[in-house]
Amino acid sequence: MPAADSFLWGVSTSSFQIEGASHLDGRGDSIWDSYCRQQGRIKNGDTGDVACDHYHRYPEDIALMRDIGVGAYRFSISWPRVLPRGRGAANQAGLDFYDGLVDALLAAGIEPWACLYHWDLPQALQDLGGWQNRDIAGWFADYAALLARRLGDRVKRFATFNEPCVFTLFGYGLGWNAPGIADRGALHQAIHHVNLSHGRAIDVLRQSVANASLGAIHNRQPCYPATTREEDVAATWRFAPYWNDAFPYPQHFAHYPLELAEAIEPYIKPGDMAQIARPVDWFGLNHYSPHYIRADVNLIGAGFGAPPVEVRRTAIGWPIVPDAFRDTLLDIHHRFRLPIYVLENGTAADDKLDEAGRVQDPARIAYLDAYTRAMQEAIRAGADVKGYFVWSLLDNFEWTSGYSQRFGLVHVDFATQKRTLKASAHWYADLIRTARTSRIAADRAERDTMTERAGAAAATAVSD
């Protein structure tokens, strides 16, 4: 395993999925609060009202992170908690919460990684058109400025967006996630305005946070046709640019993938592409599995199909293909030439407390073991991977699946809020410890070799 002192092992979460306290201390509604209220949208009618009650229990959650031994924690800021109407007057209580969280992380020796947007847009801004309204780039920049002022003295790692491809495609194109819109124009507008907002926020953070280390977090994975049928192959070609390239390409190369260029062109104004393509410091990757795509009747004519029978799957049916992770890391390395942080990887499993009050989750351990090994292969082959964060610290609100899918290293009993480290949390703690020890051993061996060489050189010099 790579060095623990230079390599960062972490865990990730997001605001709406864990915080709860959704009507407390002045927080405004997000589009996910509204979406949860719509009948039939979320499994079992679940909501984010309480979630993991992390808003009140964050000291306990940080203690769990310490038990696991992580060096970093990636969380997201709830925009409607700090700006209930999305813009205008800030909510001091909301800002105080993140202040307290950051201070407690630093006191625990855990580096805070703050993501500005993990899908919970203030409903007040959605009422103005949300990501379809070009003005949102200014609102997002002001929001970034507020956080830079309030947290930038202690937080240096900022990500602008989490998985922009997912929340634009599912939220504005296919109508599967909040705000539930399915419209071609809306999708392309949203894509462009999110990119613009990214560039504007990068400028703000760069100017106002000393020693900032900035990036965006992309979900990237191979897209394969589910069958060899011509329509599935064609669907794959239509789907992949939305998924993999609609954000990284403009952000790094200042142009849209060719397949999308014409559709997005009407929304581009002079200077936009340069504004989007601001230099960043790293490439954030979320990766779970490859996609197997088939033709479908929706506005991009593509949807998710089944993987070939020989491909193993997780509890929620996601394919387990560690080699695709290795290949994705190498592909990103060659394409974007930036340090890579894996900011999400993990699996859902059907985890239950046993009679002894423990949670055995061998499937998660096997998944994480295979994927971290694949990462190591990519590093050996040259990919500059600098960190790996497990999704997720806690079982949480898994979007439209509600609380039915458990992704945590820590089991949460949602009736009592009791937390229990799963076997995988102990496994991860061991991995982190071993990586650190083997690094110390490697450093020592290197020092010994250098000392030996120096000694040999000195001896040669004397005998000369």
Minimal distance, residue 406 CB to ligand FCB, in Å: 11
Query: Cα-flanking dihedrals φ and ψ of residue 219, to 5°?
Result: -90, 120
The reply on whether position 366 binds ligand FCB by CB under 6 A is no
Residue 4 to residues 10, 26, 211, 358, 447, Cα–Cα distance (Å): 11, 40, 22, 28, 17
Tokens read off for 29 = 């509604």
In the DSSP assignment, the letter for residue 245 is: I
Residues 6+ apart with CB under 8 A from 40: none
Residues in the chain: 464
Active-site residue, selected from the candidate residues 19, 265, 344, 398 = 344
From 104, 108, 166, 268, residue interacting with ligand FCB (rule: CB under 6 A): 166
Residue 163 annotated as catalytic: yes
Q: Are 276 and 164 in contact (CB under 8 A)?
A: no
Where b means 16+ CB within 10 Å and e means fewer, 145-181 reads bbbbebbbeebbbbbbbbbbbbbbbbbbbbbebbbbb
From 344, 351, 361, 395, residue interacting with ligand FCB (rule: CB under 6 A): 344
Specify which residues 295 forms β-bridges with: 302
| Helix axes of 362-380 and 423-463: crossing angle, nearest 10 degrees | 30
Q: Are 268 and 192 in contact (CB under 8 A)?
A: yes
Q: How far apart are CA 206 and CA 194, in angstroms?
A: 18
Our CB check for ligand FCB shows the closer of 9 and 243 to be: 243
Pairing of strands 410-413, 418-421: antiparallel
Interface segment toward ligand FCB; rule CB under 6 A; list 26-34, 161-169, 266-274, 408-416? 161-169
Our CB check for ligand FCB shows the closer of 225 and 346 to be: 346
Q: Give the contact letters, 209-228, x = binds to ligand FCB (CB under 6 A), - = no.
A: ----------x---------
Q: Give the contact letters, 422-461, x = binds to ligand FCB (CB under 6 A), - = no.
A: ----------------------------------------
Our CB check for ligand FCB shows the closer of 53 and 232 to be: 53
What is the C-alpha radius of gyration for the chain, rounded to an integer number of angstroms? Answer: 23
Our CB check for ligand FCB shows the closer of 26 and 175 to be: 175
Interface segment toward ligand FCB; rule CB under 6 A; list 142-150, 158-166, 328-336, 375-383? 158-166
DSSP symbols for 163-200:
-HHHHHIIIIIS-SSTT----HHHHHHHHHHHHHHHHH
Residue 344 annotated as catalytic: yes
The reply on whether position 397 binds ligand FCB by CB under 6 A is no
Helix (H, G, I), strand (E, B) or coil at 89: coil
Minimal distance, residue 210 CB to ligand FCB, in Å: 29
* Residue recorded with tokens 């890579």: 340
The reply on whether position 15 binds ligand FCB by CB under 6 A is no
Tokens read off for 364 = 């998660």
Our CB check for ligand FCB shows the closer of 232 and 344 to be: 344
H-helix or E-strand spanning residue 73: strand 72-76
Whose CB is nearest to ligand FCB? 163
The reply on whether position 398 binds ligand FCB by CB under 6 A is yes
Active-site residue, selected from the candidate residues 60, 163, 377, 446 = 163
Our CB check for ligand FCB shows the closer of 80 and 152 to be: 80
Minimal distance, residue 14 CB to ligand FCB, in Å: 5
Q: Give the contact letters, 264-303, x = binds to ligand FCB (CB under 6 A), - = no.
A: ----------------------x-----------------
The reply on whether position 391 binds ligand FCB by CB under 6 A is yes
Q: Are 219 and 163 in contact (CB under 8 A)?
A: yes
Question: What is the total count of residues that contact ligand FCB (CB under 6 A)?
Answer: 12
From 78, 91, 123, 162, residue interacting with ligand FCB (rule: CB under 6 A): 162
- Residues with a known catalytic role: 163, 344
Residues of the shown chain interacting with ligand FCB in the complex, contacts defined by CB under 6 A: 14, 17, 162-163, 166, 219, 286, 344, 391, 398-399, 407
